[in-house]
Amino acid sequence: MDILQTITQEFDLKPAHTTNIVSLIDEGNTIPFIARYRKEMTGSCDDQILRELYDRLTYLRNLEKRKEEVANAITEQGKMTEEIQQALEKAAILTEVEDIYRPYKQKRKTRASVAIAKGLQPFAEAILAQDKNFNVTKEAEAYLTEEVKTVNDAIAGARDIIAEIISDDAATRKKLRNFFFKHGEITSAYAKGKAEADETKTYEMYADYHEPVSEIKSHRVLALNRGEKEEFLKVSLVVDGEFAKRITAASFLKDGGESTQIVKAAAEDGYDRLIAPSVEREVRAQLFEEASEQAIKMFELNLKPLLMQPPVKDKITMGWDPAFRTGCKICVVDGTGKVLDKTVVYPTPPQNKIEEAKVILKRLIAKYGVEVISCGNGTASKESEIFIAELIKEIKNETGREVGYVIVNEAGASVYSASPLGAEEFPDYDVTARSAVSIARRLQDPLAELIKIDPKSIGVGQYQHDMNEKRLDGALSGVLEDCVNSVGVDLNTASVSLLKFVAGLNASVAKNIVAYREENGRFKSRKQLLKVPKLGEKAYTQCAGFLRIDGGDNILDNTAVHPESYAKAEKLLSLFSYTKEDVKARKIADLREKIKAYGLEKATKESELDRATLEDIVTELMKPGRDIREALPAPMLRKDIMGIEDLKVGMELTGTVRNVVDFGAFIDIGVHQDGLVHISEITEKYIRHPSEVLKVGQIVQVRVKEVDIKKNRIGLTMKKNNK
């Protein structure tokens, strides 16, 4: 297999770009670096395409490596043929390679291996040849021994050998797998005695469930697997057994009289005993793998916009971790996230110390000039929200001060609070106080705060705890890395948690950067990074462009312009009579127009830049220190509240997308319980998946379609003409 050609065709790339990308990867360049600073070599492939290409490259290389291992193993046995070699070359997936290897693989003790040990292999092969003149009973007598006492024993042993030969046939297994996928049906029912045990009715819809394998959706595959794993469900894959047996025997039957009947019986036995259970496992494993990949993809799609939510910068924020009996933990942080004060109030049941809480919080809000309250959405959040809404109304009436509040998804805050990192940051705080700080900071800078938490605990995605942990962690680390590097990191304020996701760095080097900063003071130049222990030239090349220095010696250090392009950037500026001081003073607003008038091709040639890099540099020069997240819609600030009981069918509301899943999206409409917009209610036109229209953090207009207060469920629609 020509791997480069395969990738070129699958990703619709130019051959030169494929060659360049693979070379850059093999040289140890990171995906963010390639995507940002080698656009001319890749055809401007973005980080997502590059990661998909990297995964595919890894798979194809592993496939070729496995083919070589299998070929060597078969050759060592002296059984390699031209037919096997060709089959290996044509194999496009690992399963096909393993099918080819199956007959030659060392097996544990089987009925066939026992029969072979008794010397019945030649007899089985003679029966399989199905010569019309072959007298099975007579020929069997030649194989009678102390271990094979009767003719029937000899025939039974030969049948076991033939059953395994048929079971190991790669072409037959492939046909049967296709048959299972096209015509199989997934069924499920409650396991014995489990119907009553499912108190939450989680698996009620799967109590008598049937769906074609070819049509089953990924989220239902994962639900069935979880139900089976938790022993609530009995799941089966059903096919037409008689038809499957005919497929099994088809390639082996000849018109050989008595021999053919034995081969037919062996094929049916092989299907029942060996093939069906094995192929069912393979098909279900493939369904789970594909469903897992879809779930991981959804997790990636949800995680990125969650991390990339616009920061609420420079606002003094009150973090509110709601609770009942133990009280609501409060922390006030300044615009940089530094803790100014903390306390505990008890406005929620059972204490209900509402007036006392108002006095304490009004004093804190006035003392520090709190502008926004960031309230977690966990236990007691609705009761807290009712109190907050009343509190800010009173403040407005009494002082004229405007205070808004935001309900923040607090998923993972408790994980951070109890983590070694939380203890390291706030050793004198208990876990609940740390949680309040986290809730405040994740409003101020979601990326910097959420990066500290295991992505699986952030609260987006579906069935993430059922995934292959290594594969999921790898995919999510890629998202974290892409987000951190696309935003850029302030070298003088970033935590180790943030720095370790910068291209070319790891946790160890990130700690060294922070230690160097603490010992030597603020970084004044990117070049100082080369003085950091264990940060060499290669790591510097990868990371430098993603690290920002505000107020440093060189204004270019506060942009995404890579140091390798500084001289060319300066040449571009001088071409139009600008200096770096003009960049610092924001006096180059007409640079793009001047380039256009001068001629883009001429400008790229004289500045020794390619077009893609020139465009990136111009964007950075015109707005040094920019944060790409600022272009996104800011979180909604609230000043009032509703409960689910206030909702009426037909009511129009503004909401925030909290989670996108295969069957729809969950929308926060300010009533504590998220509403569901089913995929069929998202838009008038047909869409294959909700992610085509919606993403986490998006502000949307919805209308209430149905409300079930008893089950705490809200159905929403985004269709304009849905009555």
Tokens of 398: 């009494």
Token readout for 457 is 């605990």
Q: How confident is the model at residue 412 (pLDDT cuts 50, 70, 90)?
A: confident
CATH topology of domain 489-631: DNA polymerase; domain 1 (1.10.150)
- Type of residue at 41: M
Per-domain residue ranges of the chain: 3-104, 317-460, 489-631, 644-717
Instruction: Please report where in the chains the tokens 């106080």 appear, as a residue.
Output: 433
Q: Is the pLDDT of residue 86 over 70?
A: yes
pLDDT of 651 reads 87
How many whole angstroms separate alpha carbon 383 and alpha carbon 352? Answer: 10
Q: What is d(CA 28, CA 39) in angstroms, rounded to the nearest whole number?
A: 17
Residue type, 444: Q
Confidence of residue 106 (pLDDT cuts 50, 70, 90): confident
What pLDDT digit, counting tens, does each position of 523-581 carry? 999 999 999 999 999 999 999 999 999 999 999 999 999 999 999 999 999 999 999 99
Distances 578 to 29, 561, 584, 605 between C-alpha atoms, Å: 33, 16, 11, 18
The pLDDT tens digits of the residues spanning 358-383 come to 999 999 999 999 999 999 888 888 88
**Closest C-alpha among 381, 121, 183, 159 to residue 274:** 159
Asked if the model's pLDDT at residue 518 lies above 70, the reply is yes
Outline where DSSP puts E strands in 504-575: 547-548
pLDDT band at 461 (very low <50, low <70, confident <90, very high): low
pLDDT of res. 638: 55
Each residue's pLDDT tens digit, 224-240: 999 999 999 999 999 99
Measured distance CA(366)–CA(230) in Å, rounded: 52
Spatial CB neighbours of 368, under 8 Å, sequence gap ≥ 6 = 316, 332, 334, 340, 341
Q: Is a pLDDT exceeding 70 seen at residue 710?
A: yes
Per the CATH hierarchy, to which homologous superfamily does domain 317-460 belong?
Answer: YqgF/RNase H-like domain (3.30.420.140)
Q: What is the DSSP string of 234-296?
A: EEEEE--HHHHHHHHHHTT--S-THHHHHHHHHHHHHIIIIIHHHHHHHHHHHHHHHHHHHHH
Element (H, E) at 381: helix 381-399
Rounded CA-CA distance 578/572 in Å is 9
Band of pLDDT at residue 464, cut at 50, 70 and 90: confident
Cβ burial, residue 540 (10 Å; 0-12/13-18/19+)? middle
| Position 635 confidence tier, pLDDT thresholds 50, 70, 90 | low
- Half-sphere exposure of 527 toward its Cβ, with a 13 Å CA cutoff? 7
Place of tokens 């993603």: 546
| Residue from 86, 5, 7 nearest 53 by CA | 7
Predicted confidence (pLDDT) at residue 401 exceeds the cutoff of 60: yes
Model confidence pLDDT, tens digit, residues 136-145: 999 999 999 9
**Contact indicator for 653, 704 with CB cutoff of 8 Å:** yes
Q: Sign of dihedral through CA atoms 91, 478, 471, 496?
A: positive
Cβ neighbors of 673 (< 8 A, separation 6 or more) are 644, 712, 713, 714
Q: What is the mean pLDDT of residues 127-138?
A: 93
Residue 512 has pLDDT above 70, yes or no: yes
pLDDT surpasses 60 at 271: yes
* 700 and 676 Cβ atoms separated by less than 8 Å: no
Mean pLDDT of the chain: 91
Tell me which residue of 696, 704, 713 sits closest to 658, measured CA to CA. Answer: 696
Burial of residue 23 (CB within 10 Å: 0-12, 13-18, 19+) is exposed
DSSP structural state of residue 638: B
Tell me if 528 sits within 8 A of 57, measured CB to CB.
Answer: no
Report the C-alpha gap between 564 and 528 in whole angstroms: 15
Q: Which fold has domain 3-104?
A: Arc Repressor Mutant, subunit A (1.10.10)
Structure tokens, 436? 């309040």
CA–CA separation, 584 and 623 (whole Å)? 9
Peptide bond into 350 cis (omega under 30): yes
Contacts of 74 (CB under 8 A, 6+ apart): 80, 84, 101, 104
Lowest mean pLDDT among 88-102, 308-322, 624-638, 666-680: 624-638
Average pLDDT of the residues in 23-41: 96
% residues pLDDT > 90 (the chain): 71
pLDDT at 632 over 70: no
Determine the pLDDT at residue 90. Answer: 93
Please say whether the beta carbons of 413 and 374 come within 8 A: no
- The token duo for 127 is 């029966």
Given this model, what pLDDT does residue 17 score?
Answer: 97
Q: What pLDDT is recorded for position 275?
A: 96
- Is 494 in contact with 451 (CB distance < 8 Å)? no
Cβ-proximal residues to 180 (8 Å cutoff; 6+ apart), any chain: 213, 237, 239, 279, 280, 283
CA-CA distance, 594 to 622, in Å (whole number)? 13
Positive or negative torsion for Cα 167, 172, 178, 180: negative
Q: Which CATH superfamily is domain 644-717 in?
A: Nucleic acid-binding proteins (2.40.50.140)
pLDDT tens profile 275-290: 999 999 999 999 999 9
Residue 664 confidence (pLDDT): 92
pLDDT at 486: 92
Separation between Cα atoms, residue 408 and residue 398, nearest integer Å: 27
**What pLDDT shows up at residue 1?**
81
Highest mean pLDDT among 271-280, 385-394, 441-450: 271-280
DSSP state of 713: E
What is the H or E stretch that residue 708 is in? strand 699-708
pLDDT tens digits for range 644-692? 888 888 888 888 888 898 899 999 887 768 899 999 999 989 998 999 9
Percent of the chain at pLDDT > 70 equals: 97
Provide the pLDDT confidence category of residue 641 given band limits of 50, 70 and 90: low
CB neighbourhood size of 208 (10 A): 10
pLDDT, residue 312, reads 86
Structure-block tokens of residue 107: 């097996």
pLDDT for 699 equals: 86
H-helix or E-strand containing 329? strand 328-333
Say how far apart CA 319 and CA 378 lie, in whole Å: 13
Using only C-alpha atoms, the chain has a radius of gyration, in whole angstroms, of 33
How far is CA 231 from each of CA 56, 99, 188, 202, 464, rounded to the nearest angstrom?
Answer: 35, 31, 12, 13, 19
d(CA 498, CA 510): 8
Instruction: Say what the pLDDT of residue 601 is.
Output: 93
Q: What are phi and psi of 68, to 5 degrees?
A: -65, -40
Q: Residue 59: what are its φ and ψ, rounded to 5°? A: -60, -50
